């Protein structure tokens, strides 16, 4: 600080005063009452959360979180309001004390684009500061032109000439404002003749200058004679592009030159044009980089101690602004600690009621004044006076007294050229490398709001800052005059502010202990704008949706809790109105501001949040979007009439329009609900939500007008309502790929919606078997178990009898249990194996019941029993004996299998073999039926004298001329035969490889079927399919884990799961075609048929054989209305849906101990063939009369219809998946982007859907008991199925529908070679077979690899990886993921040497196909 003569500084009156706002204490009391209300709302929310299962629970919890955020944010907003401070400078004291010692001031003006920021606009700002009421030798004006435009330079040159007339005119007549354009617009009628004459002359000069500039810009050419008048134009003789040019520094007016004078002979201020060096590969750090360059250049030329920063559209509206600012800096007591003085941003083009809320009356008058009260005013980037030393990184110390009255560092001995050359070196691209610029010196880099971060950093170095808001605004700019521009501006601000919160400059971390806690909180008012979007979006979405469903989220009007909500709402908004009116706003402007705050929060702040997160994850870089200062006349006219402008197609408008329409529909429906309620219950419960929707509808009135009423160019484009505006135009590259992707994504979206049906209403069931035993043990119904086999080669007899033995040994009264083996292979070896099993069962059943064995399949039990029996010597001895017996029968059966026939010795021991005397082949033989164990026979007992279950062998009649209808025909034959022999009320059918793993499963099923309340409406109980041979990470994803653990539970919630053909307990009469009749009960109790008891075994066999003859079903309803349906490879699913459509329900039972375990496919080929059969059958159902879309309509719930469709649409999924696997990669090779770029806000929905969907899929899989690698294998197999199994299934179904082929039934092999099994156990994929499916897989894998390598090579050789990343990130990601998924394929093609590798013929064909496709698409398409 300069020393005072003749006395101490303490005696001098201050140059400014600070005054606290009135009634602060009263306001604090009022705010405390609102805080109490907020706390009561929180208490209400926490104490009234709906219980699990109650409607609206999650909506309530979400509302609690939203209101907690609203309350917390409101508390933060109180920090500046509790310390509002106003400042008043005393310019007369400044003049009296320092007029001859006033310091130099460097004024920085920044522009970046001559189109968005016209040169005439820029020079008006320049002229306004050149003519400040300040000694003209003291200010220096620097214009930074980041556009490097010679038109801007030319305009500045013209302004320097006009200034010679303008500055004297302004000072002579004390003109305000001193921007010519603004001045002439305000003063168009001058009555004083003398003044009027000079006014006309100066206006003519201005108009001529303006016309010359605009003419040059319009013609894009500066006249040659003008270029010759100044050497500066020679800089543009070189190749100058906006982002690629050399440093340009031109001193247009040299304030040292005694000849540089105005029209009155007074010295002119220094005026400098600067355009820093730009290179494409070098970051230029936007406005922060430009200001730092100005700091260095100005320090070389004028080096004033104080600096004023201005945007090019922010002209000086007060000629005394510098003097007012210096009152703060030069104050003897507080001046040395002040780093900067911030003025509010005002605008000269505001409408009467500020339609877009640009002025921010309350922020300027209250919040920023409150921050200033803590000595921590925000640095807002424009209209700010700085102490130079502070911007250069100096820390504040208490002994600092300031150095402002030293002589300027202008070097008189140095020529203009020397100064220009030395300054150019300071603004080269490489100057800042290895320095503290952008870190500790100058403005901070890496953030769109570099000003806020810089101001905070200055304050944390110990400096104070002042906020000064005079009655006459010191600076006026151009406010956004379209909604799109206003929203983009706020997106940039909120994005930058949120980035600060995430950075090391977060006020609560960086500012801790350095600035006041109130200032830290006040900073966060703006830093947390972006996350405010989520609770706001929630509040404008979920309560209206709940209103549609009649779910109340607020207290009843009659409840005392309602008072808390009402008080907070009314008090907060009433005070908001009062605050706005006191700040100079109008009531209508306040309403417009509420609308804009809502719109900003659900659009600008929402997208800013996601862009910030993308940047934090390294997925995008900081961008700086300029606000356009140019508009068309019709837009300007609508703006002046305060009509909102929606003319562009913006994703923000899509969000806005969606929210508006949602609330409108909710209001209409909610009002209808309230009005139609006779008891006024809805009025009491839902009135708060109706009011909320009503307010939102009122706020959105301009949106409805723009959507449906307005016809001008400012209405909302139809593409916002139906968003397809990004499809390339006809002739543009990528059009057909884009349209195809649109179709694929529509399909994926539609299919995803289908999959949600099975996730919205899951049901988990638990049985009480003890209650069943207590209530019905003596009345348990008969149970007939059907085991089906078809080929002894694919389904070995030992595997079949293990399944038979597992169900024969059920924990169930044996006299009520009958087991039927259907052998569609008609094999005497299978029959022989069953005979051996019958003998073994006499020992096995008592052993199982004695030791409560699990599982009761001998082979599975012996594998798992060795370690568990060390402590039990008695059981160990019995185990050894039973093992020996099992080994003996295993050897007998295996010997017969190897021999291929049954020895005559064995054949002679049992009469049943005689039935093979007339046997011709497996497709041509009589009915073979043998009751191996007759449960009625008192002599048919086990070794402990207990009755054995009935055991029956059946090979139905087969003739070449008759269709045997595969497994459905076998099952129907079993239903008829069993009805004649045992006629159990309950039927269980299992595949021959699906042994019982839980001896109590039959009792679990009966708990459902015999339940007194709901049992009578249950047709079947389905257990999941599980497999004993799955690898740790489920290499082929055979378990369908998510389907069995999630989706089937969801279907159960709608009335029942699918019947999947195995592990299912049926009520017999439902399979025989009975319809459900409400109130009609069917008895499940055990009844002994006297007629059956009196019938001899031979007669029973003979009577039953005819039921399994080929001709029996002719002219009957079997296969139509009775039994399992015919004509479909998935007869089970179609049968299940027909049962449910007859009114029955089904139940899904998934106990902790799995009820059944089978053998999963051990090769990829088997898995794909199995899924081809399933998906083909499901798709046939969709196209048949049994389609869930029409056959089930009105008969089952919509959720269950959608659930069925999830599987019926498997086959058609192939087309969209194939398109997605091929086309984006091929277009990647051509460099054509089919997805949004990194910089586009449209990337957000893509990124969100990808991340959210696959994160949930991952969580769902792990929750279902899977592993991380298992989930990855599951994704791979789904891709393989969709591109092969489902594709062939789709084609075969279409051919079948057209009559070109018949349905086939392919049995999945249960036998594998040892080396195949060894690779399976090691989780090495098996590709050894030659299959067209493998050709497709290999071709797709190689095509994606070639496309990826091709585009990477082009990027390296051409524009670089950064360009590729910016333009096609999602295509690269998609192609990369497909390559990672296909790694096992590449290994099988080129790296592996074992027998499981891909056959060379497939490798050759797939390479040829993929190379051909890439070449054709790249060069011929």
In angstroms, the Cα distances linking 1058 to 569, 1027, 1178, 1203 are 51, 19, 11, 9
Does a cis peptide bond (omega within 30 degrees of 0) precede residue 855?
Answer: yes
Is 914 strand, coil or helix?
helix
For residues 329 and 344, give the distance between their C-alpha atoms in angstroms, rounded to a whole number. 18
| Most distant CA pair in the chain, distance | 141
For residues 381 and 340, give the distance between their C-alpha atoms in angstroms, rounded to a whole number. 11
Is 253 strand, coil or helix?
strand
CB atoms within 10 A of CB 1035: 27
Task: Catalytic residue, from 824, 991, 993, 1052: name it.
Answer: 824
CB atoms within 10 A of CB 799: 21
Is 154 strand, coil or helix?
helix
Using only the alpha carbons of the chain, give its radius of gyration: 43
Instruction: Provide the token pair at 53.
Output: 């299962």
* 846-850: Cβ within 8 A, 24+ apart: 846/942, 846/943, 846/944, 846/946, 847/878, 847/882, 848/809, 848/999, 849/809, 849/811, 850/878
Q: Which helix or strand (DSSP H or E) is residue 1090 part of?
A: helix 1090-1094
- Non-local (6+) Cβ contacts of 1363 within 8 A are 1355
Ramachandran category for residue 415: left, alpha or beta (phi over 0 → left; psi -120 to 50 → alpha): beta
Asked if 1010 and 1086 count as a contact pair (C-beta separation under 8 A), the reply is: no
Asked if 635 and 715 count as a contact pair (C-beta separation under 8 A), the reply is: no
- In 3D space, the residue among 491, 527, 522 whose CA is nearest the CA of residue 506 turns out to be 527
- In 3D space, the residue among 185, 192, 223 whose CA is nearest the CA of residue 206 turns out to be 185
Provide the 8-state DSSP code for 250. E
- In 3D space, the residue among 72, 165, 81, 431 whose CA is nearest the CA of residue 278 turns out to be 431
Instruction: Provide the token pair at 807.
Output: 């169900």
For residues 51 and 389, give the distance between their C-alpha atoms in angstroms, rounded to a whole number. 62
**How buried is residue 1008: exposed, middle or buried, by Cβ count under 10 Å (0-12/13-18/19+)?**
buried
Q: Which helix or strand (DSSP H or E) is residue 1367 part of?
A: helix 1361-1367
Provide the 8-state DSSP code for 248. E
Asked if 133 and 171 count as a contact pair (C-beta separation under 8 A), the reply is: yes
SS (H, E, C) 515-549: CCHHHHHHHHHHHCCHHHHHHHHHHHHHHHHHHHH
Helices (H) and strands (E) in the chain, counts: 54, 24
- In 3D space, the residue among 1235, 1224, 1229 whose CA is nearest the CA of residue 1416 turns out to be 1229
Number of residues that make up the chain? 1421
Please say if 1052 is a catalytic residue: no
- In 3D space, the residue among 327, 276, 291, 346 whose CA is nearest the CA of residue 103 turns out to be 327
- Non-local (6+) Cβ contacts of 1414 within 8 A are 1226, 1229, 1343, 1346, 1347, 1350
Task: Catalytic residue, from 106, 1132, 1178, 1274: name it.
Answer: 1132
Please say if 791 is a catalytic residue: no
- In 3D space, the residue among 1252, 1213, 1221, 1218 whose CA is nearest the CA of residue 1375 turns out to be 1221
For residues 322 and 386, give the distance between their C-alpha atoms in angstroms, rounded to a whole number. 11
| Residues carrying an active site annotation | 824, 1132
């Amino acid at each position: 600080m300069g020393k005072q003569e003749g006395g101490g500084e303490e005696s001098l009156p201050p140059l400014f005063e600070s005054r606290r706002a009135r009634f602060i204490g009263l306001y604090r009391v009022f705010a405390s009452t609102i805080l109490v209300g907020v706390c009561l709302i929180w208490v209400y929310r926490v104490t009234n959360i709906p219980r699990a299962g109650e409607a609206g629970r999650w909506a309530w919890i979400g509302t609690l979180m939203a209101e907690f955020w609203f309350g917390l944010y409101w508390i933060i907003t109180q920090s500046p309001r509790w310390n509002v401070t106003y400042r008043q400078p005393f310019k007369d004291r400044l003049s009296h004390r320092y007029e001859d010692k006033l310091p130099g001031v460097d004024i920085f003006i920044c522009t970046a684009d001559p189109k968005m920021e016209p040169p005439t606009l820029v020079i008006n700002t320049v002229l306004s500061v050149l003519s400040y009421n300040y000694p003209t030798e003291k200010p220096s004006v620097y214009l930074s032109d980041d556009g490097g435009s010679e038109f801007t330079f030319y305009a500045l040159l013209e302004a320097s000439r006009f200034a010679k007339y303008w500055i004297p005119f302004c000072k002579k007549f004390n003109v305000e404002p001193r921007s010519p354009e603004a001045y002439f617009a305000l003063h168009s009628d001058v009555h004083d003749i003398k003044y009027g004459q000079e006014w006309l002359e100066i206006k003519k000069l201005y108009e001529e200058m303006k016309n010359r500039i605009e003419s040059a810009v319009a013609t894009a050419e500066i006249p040659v004679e003008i270029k010759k008048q100044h050497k500066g134009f020679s800089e543009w003789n070189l190749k100058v592009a906006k982002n690629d040019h050399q440093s340009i520094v031109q001193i247009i007016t040299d304030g040292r030159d005694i000849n540089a004078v105005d029209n009155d002979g007074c010295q002119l201020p220094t005026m400098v044009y600067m355009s820093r060096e730009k290179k494409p590969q070098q970051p230029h750090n936007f406005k922060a980089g430009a200001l730092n360059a100005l700091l260095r250049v100005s320090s070389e030329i004028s080096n004033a101690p104080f600096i004023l920063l201005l945007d090019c559209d922010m002209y000086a509206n007060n000629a005394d602004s510098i003097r007012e600012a210096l009152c703060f800096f030069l104050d003897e007591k507080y001046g040395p600690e002040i780093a900067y003085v911030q003025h509010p941003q005002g605008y000269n083009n505001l409408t009467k009621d500020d339609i877009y809320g640009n002025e921010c009356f309350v922020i300027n008058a209250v919040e920023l004044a409150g921050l200033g009260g803590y000595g921590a005013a925000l640095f807002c980037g424009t209209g700010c006076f700085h102490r130079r030393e502070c911007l250069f990184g100096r820390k504040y110390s208490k002994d600092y007294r300031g150095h402002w009255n030293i002589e300027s560092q202008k070097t008189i001995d140095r020529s203009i050229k020397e100064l220009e050359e030395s300054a150019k070196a300071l603004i080269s691209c490489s100057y800042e490398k290895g320095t503290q610029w952008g870190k500790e010196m100058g403005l901070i880099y890496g953030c769109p709001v570099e000003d806020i971060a810089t101001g905070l950093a200055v304050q944390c170095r110990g400096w104070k800052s002042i906020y000064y808001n005079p009655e006459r605004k010191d600076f006026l700019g151009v406010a956004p005059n379209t909604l799109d521009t206003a929203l983009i501006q706020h997106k940039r601000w909120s994005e930058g502010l949120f980035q600060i919160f995430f950075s090391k400059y977060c006020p609560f971390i960086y500012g801790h202990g350095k600035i006041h806690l109130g200032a830290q909180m006040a900073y966060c008012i703006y830093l947390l704008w972006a996350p405010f979007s989520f609770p706001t979006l929630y509040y404008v979405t979920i309560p209206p949706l709940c209103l549609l469903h009649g779910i109340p989220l607020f207290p009843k009007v009659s409840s005392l809790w309602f008072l808390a909500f009402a008080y907070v709402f009314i008090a907060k908004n009433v005070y908001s109105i009062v605050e706005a009116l006191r700040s100079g706003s109008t009531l209508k402007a306040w309403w417009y501001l509420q609308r804009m705050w809502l719109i900003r929060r659900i659009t600008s702040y929402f997208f800013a949040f996601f862009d910030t997160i993308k940047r934090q994850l390294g997925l995008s870089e900081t961008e700086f979007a300029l606000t356009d200062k140019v508009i068309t006349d019709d837009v300007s006219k609508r703006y002046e009439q305060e009509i909102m402008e929606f003319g562009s197609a913006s994703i923000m408008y899509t969000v806005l329009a969606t929210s508006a329409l949602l609330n409108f529909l909710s209001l209409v429906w909610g009002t209808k609900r309230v009005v139609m309620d006779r008891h006024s219950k809805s009025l009491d419960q839902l009135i708060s939500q109706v009011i909320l929707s009503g307010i939102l509808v009122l706020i959105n009135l301009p949106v409805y007008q723009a959507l449906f009423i307005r016809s001008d160019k400012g209405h909302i484009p139809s593409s916002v309502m139906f968003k397809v505006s990004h499809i390339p135009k006809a002739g543009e590259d990528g059009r057909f790929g884009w349209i195809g992707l649109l179709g694929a994504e529509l399909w994926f979206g539609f299919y995803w919606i289908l999959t949600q049906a099975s996730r919205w209403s899951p049901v988990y069931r638990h049985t009480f078997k003890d209650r069943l035993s207590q209530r019905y043990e003596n009345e348990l119904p008969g149970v007939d178990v059907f085991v089906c086999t078809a080929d002894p080669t694919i389904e070995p007899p030992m595997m079949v009898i293990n399944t038979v033995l597992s169900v024969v040994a059920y924990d169930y009264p044996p006299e009520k249990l009958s087991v039927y083996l259907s052998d569609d292979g008609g094999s005497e070896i299978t029959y022989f194996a069953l005979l051996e099993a019958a003998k073994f069962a006499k020992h096995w059943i008592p052993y199982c019941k004695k030791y409560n064995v699990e599982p009761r399949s001998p082979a599975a039990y012996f594998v798992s029993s060795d370690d568990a029996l060390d402590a039990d010597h008695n059981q160990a001895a019995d185990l050894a004996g039973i093992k020996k017996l099992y080994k003996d029968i295993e050897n007998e059966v295996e010997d017969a299998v190897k021999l291929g026939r049954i020895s005559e010795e064995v054949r002679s021991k049992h009469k049943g073999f005689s039935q093979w005397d007339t046997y011709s082949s497996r497709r041509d033989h009589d009915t073979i039926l043998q009751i191996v164990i007759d449960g009625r026979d008192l002599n048919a007992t086990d070794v402990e004298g207990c009755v054995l279950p009935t055991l029956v062998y059946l090979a139905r009649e087969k003739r070449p001329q008759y269709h045997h209808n595969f497994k459905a025909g076998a099952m129907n034959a079993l239903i008829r035969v069993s009805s004649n022999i045992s006629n159990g009320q309950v039927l269980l059918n299992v595949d021959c490889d699906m042994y019982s793993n839980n001896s109590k499963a039959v009792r679990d099923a009966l708990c459902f079927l015999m339940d007194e309340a709901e049992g009578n409406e249950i047709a079947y109980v389905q257990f999941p399919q599980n497999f004993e041979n799955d690898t740790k990470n489920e290499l082929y994803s055979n378990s369908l884990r998510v389907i069995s653990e999630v989706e089937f539970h969801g279907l159960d919630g709608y009335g029942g799961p699918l019947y999947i053909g195995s592990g299912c307990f049926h009520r017999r009469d439902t399979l025989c075609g009975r319809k459900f009749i409400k109130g009609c009960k069917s008895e499940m109790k055990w009844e002994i048929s006297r007629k059956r008891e009196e019938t001899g075994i031979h007669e029973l066999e003979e009577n039953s054989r005819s039921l399994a003859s080929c001709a029996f079903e002719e002219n009957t309803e079997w296969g139509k209305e009775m039994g399992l349906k015919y004509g479909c490879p998935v007869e089970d699913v179609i049968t299940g849906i027909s049962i449910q459509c007859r009114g029955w329900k089904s139940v899904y039972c998934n106990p902790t101990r799995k009820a059944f375990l089978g053998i999963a496919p051990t090769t990829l080929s088997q898995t794909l063939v199995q899924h081809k059969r399933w998906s083909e059958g499901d798709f046939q159902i969709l196209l048949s009369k049994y389609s869930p879309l029409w056959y089930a309509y009105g008969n089952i719930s919509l959720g269950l219809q959608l659930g069925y469709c999830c599987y019926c649409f498997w086959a058609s999924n192939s087309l969209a998946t194939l398109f997605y696997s091929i086309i984006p990669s091929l277009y990647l090779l051509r460099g054509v982007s089919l997805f949004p770029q990194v910089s586009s806000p449209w990337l957000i929905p893509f990124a969100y859907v990808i991340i959210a969907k696959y994160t949930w899929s991952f969580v769902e899989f792990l929750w279902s008991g899977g592993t991380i690698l298992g989930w990855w294998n599951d994704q791979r197999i789904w891709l393989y199925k969709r591109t092969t199994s489902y594709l062939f299934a789709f084609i075969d179904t279409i051919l079948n529908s057209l009559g070109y082929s018949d349905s086939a039934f392919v049995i999945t092999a249960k036998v594998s070679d040892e080396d195949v099994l060894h690779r399976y156990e090691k989780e090495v994929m098996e590709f050894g077979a030659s299959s067209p499916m493998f050709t497709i897989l290999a071709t797709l894998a190689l095509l994606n690899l070639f496309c990826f390598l091709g585009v990477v090579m082009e990027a390296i050789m051409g524009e670089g990886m950064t360009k590729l990343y910016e333009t096609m990130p999602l295509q690269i990601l998609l192609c990369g993921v497909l390559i990672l998924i296909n790694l096992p394929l590449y290994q099988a093609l080129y790296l592996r040497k074992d027998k499981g590798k891909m056959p060379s013929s497939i490798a050759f064909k797939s390479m040829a196909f993929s190379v051909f496709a890439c070449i054709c698409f790249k060069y011929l398409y």
